Amino acid sequence: MAPELYKQKLKGISMTTNHGPQIKNDKQYEELREKGMSKEKSARIANSGKSASKRGGKHSAYEDWTVSELREQASEVGIEGRSNMKKEELIQALRNH
């Protein structure tokens, strides 16, 4: 981070970086990255639009899923090494993908 941006951030002034046309909501993207989310997940959320929060929460919590269901979901999103993962590892991988 450039020294001037760092000073402004410390003062509570937010300077949003333009991440180019691939990111629709730069401010939201940066907030998600600061919370520790991956670049890919942050980009998906920032590009999903305002209605994303209305669509969320339609399936039960991953803890209620079977290992087989979790592995199938992991396969759909492209998580590698899923066949050797335990249930908690699958849940963590899906949430952090």
pLDDT of the residue at 29: 85
Q: State which residues form the domain around 29.
A: 21-49
Domain presence at residue 45? yes
Domain presence at residue 59? no
Percent of the chain with pLDDT over 70: 72
Eight-state DSSP code of residue 24: S
Reading the block at residue 27, the tokens are: 């401010």
Domain presence at residue 10? no
Domain presence at residue 31? yes
Reading the block at residue 28, the tokens are: 């939201």
Domain presence at residue 85? yes
How many domains would you assign to the chain? Answer: 2
Residue 56 vs residue 36, higher pLDDT: 36
Q: Is 86's pLDDT higher than 90?
A: yes
Domain presence at residue 69? yes
Domain presence at residue 55? no
Same domain flag for 41 and 69: no
Same domain flag for 42 and 70: no
Query: What is the tens place of the pLDDT at every residue in 54-67?
Result: 556 667 888 999 99
Same domain flag for 43 and 70: no
Contact between 23 and 31 under an 8 Å Cβ cutoff? The reply is no
Strands (E), 24-95: none
Reading the block at residue 29, the tokens are: 């993207």
